[in-house]
Amino acid sequence: MSRIHFIPVGGIYEFGNQGYLYGVDDEWILVDAGSQFSSDDRTYHAYPDYSFVDALGEKLKALIITHNHEDHLGGITRFMTDHPHVPVYCTPFVEAHIGLKIAQQDLRLKLKRHPVSAVPQGQRQKIGTHFNMEFIAVNHSTPESSMIYMETPYGNVLHTGDWRYERNPVGKDRMNWKRLEEISAHGLTALVADSTGILNDTTEPLSELDVKKSLFHLFRQTDQKDKVLIATTFSTHTDRINSLCEIARHLGREPKFVGTGMQANSGVSKKCGFLHEKRIVADGWMNNPKSFYIATGCQAEENSAMDLFAQGAPLKRPTCILFSARVIPGEEEKVAAMKAVLRAKGYDLIENDATHLTHVSGHAPRVDTERLIQLMKPRIYIPIHGNEDHLKANVRLGRKLHVPCPVLLEKCGEQISFSKTSEPVSEQLYTPVKVVVHSKERSFEKRFFEKSAGKNRKRT
């Protein structure tokens, strides 16, 4: 029987390493080429096991990228190097980030002929003879994030990527509910859905505008003439960075970017028209009370701006550090330890807690996933992107909403085969073995702070 085949290559029962294969007859496409890193050890990088993908040879027709986050895009140059003839499709913003990665890794010469096509959201793209693909705009925590809609002869699939619904957007991106309605009206065979926010049971999701207003309030409260102000957030969160720049200007300060990721990613955001403020790179320690520093290191990543600041910065002035980010699961201890060092040094810390709103997640809470399922009415529901609790809770939600066939994936390498009319059938094709590599790369932050602090900087 003719069916669509779906195989998670990585990204379930783990954080990071997103990669999902879709196959129809002898044509396959891979969605996302993520990686996994350890904030304890910046030389550690892991990638999905591509042995099955490699064996597809010319049957692999494309790699499609949903958005610019490392767990979806971090393995792109490695993938391109190993698969020189597989075209990459992504939105223009993601294309610019791929260009940045290629340049940062000195791969321009090697990858200059690799086919990378920018496909704007809402435009159809034929891939092979069986796939008709379209990027659909959603909200997330980085610009131009997309769901992928795929039409095939044996049914159609909506792959959500990472998404949330932003009720009060502060940036350009708008979730395209209208297009989703049209797709639903044609009948959706399978919905393959992000599970990250499924345990969030709020009924009134906060918006990026709520965060912006709160940040305004918090910084206004703490602002003093001689005080150093620092905000740390994710370097790809352009909407948040725009809000912080606006607040800085409102306080009469110049926003300055600190850290490799912040400087490089904001450069791409500026080039693509998403960052409003001109990008000003900080020089020296973060200790000028006329500036407003926007820094990397909200997860206490080794050698990030905040980590090095905690290790070495001398306290010369009253300083407020605001964490505008969630703590990524698994990093709690490390972030807490860094915050303890910063507090011991006498800095004021503001973080997201019951009394201070400094962040909102980029992933749909349960109430919005519910809305998506009810709108799309898929026959088959396959939760992805989460650990065991997330995947199971998302399957339960599918059951509760009477999706005919909710599927709990067992592990990576499992194939789920289905069509417009057939039941999904599961088969474990192979057992992936994660690929771990150690890079010797020394971070820009490290070089920057070493230069700024001189050779005699003391570590505490």
Task: Decide: is 32 part of the binding site for Zn ion (CB under 5 A).
Answer: no
**For the chain, how long is the longest CA-to-CA vector?**
73
Q: Of the ranges 51-59, 155-163, 268-276, 429-437, which one interacts with Zn ion (CB under 5 A)?
A: 155-163
CB of 254 to Zn ion, least distance (A): 30
> Is the CB of residue 53 less than 8 Å from the CB of residue 8?
no
For Zn ion, which is the closer residue by CB, 71 or 277?
71
For Zn ion, which is the closer residue by CB, 111 or 384?
384
Q: Find the helix packing angle between 444-453 and 260-271, rounded to 10°.
A: 120
For residues 423 and 417, give the distance between their C-alpha atoms in angstroms, rounded to a whole number.
Answer: 8
For Zn ion, which is the closer residue by CB, 362 or 424?
362
For Zn ion, which is the closer residue by CB, 134 or 162?
162
For Zn ion, which is the closer residue by CB, 34 or 128?
34
Task: Decide: is 164 part of the binding site for Zn ion (CB under 5 A).
Answer: no
CB of 67 to Zn ion, least distance (A): 6
Q: Of the ranges 96-104, 160-168, 221-229, 397-405, which one interacts with Zn ion (CB under 5 A)?
A: 160-168
Q: Of the ranges 95-103, 162-170, 222-230, 394-402, which one interacts with Zn ion (CB under 5 A)?
A: 162-170
Smallest Cα–Cα separation from 165: which of 12, 374, 354?
A: 374
Task: Decide: is 27 part of the binding site for Zn ion (CB under 5 A).
Answer: no
How many residues are there in the chain? 460
For residues 50 and 45, give the distance between their C-alpha atoms in angstroms, rounded to a whole number.
Answer: 15
For Zn ion, which is the closer residue by CB, 183 or 364?
364
CB of 71 to Zn ion, least distance (A): 4
Pattern 46-85, Zn ion, x by CB under 5 A: -----------------------x-x--------------
Residues contacting residue 297 through CB under 8 Å, at least 6 positions apart: 232, 259, 304, 305, 306, 307, 308, 309, 338, 445
**Identity at 327, one-letter amino acid code:** V
For Zn ion, which is the closer residue by CB, 143 or 259?
143
> Is the CB of residue 382 less than 8 Å from the CB of residue 417?
no
CB of 15 to Zn ion, least distance (A): 8
Task: Decide: is 390 part of the binding site for Zn ion (CB under 5 A).
Answer: no
**Three-state secondary structure of 151-163:** EECCEEEEECCCC
For residues 265 and 409, give the distance between their C-alpha atoms in angstroms, rounded to a whole number.
Answer: 34
Phi, psi (rounded to 5 degrees) for 387: -85, -170
For residues 76 and 98, give the distance between their C-alpha atoms in angstroms, rounded to a whole number.
Answer: 7
Secondary structure (DSSP) of 12-44: BSSSS--EEEEEETTEEEEE----EE-SS-TTE
For Zn ion, which is the closer residue by CB, 16 or 424?
16
CB of 16 to Zn ion, least distance (A): 8
For Zn ion, which is the closer residue by CB, 71 or 166?
71
CB of 179 to Zn ion, least distance (A): 20
> Is the CB of residue 451 less than 8 Å from the CB of residue 444?
no
**Segment 236-255, which members bind Zn ion (CB under 5 A)?**
none
Counting residues that bind Zn ion (by CB under 5 A) gives 3
For Zn ion, which is the closer residue by CB, 207 or 419?
207
CB of 240 to Zn ion, least distance (A): 14
Q: Is 74 left (phi over 0), alpha (psi -120 to 50) or beta?
A: alpha
CB of 199 to Zn ion, least distance (A): 15
> Is the CB of residue 434 less than 8 Å from the CB of residue 48?
yes
Task: Decide: is 162 part of the binding site for Zn ion (CB under 5 A).
Answer: yes
Footprint on this chain of Zn ion (rule: CB under 5 A): 69, 71, 162
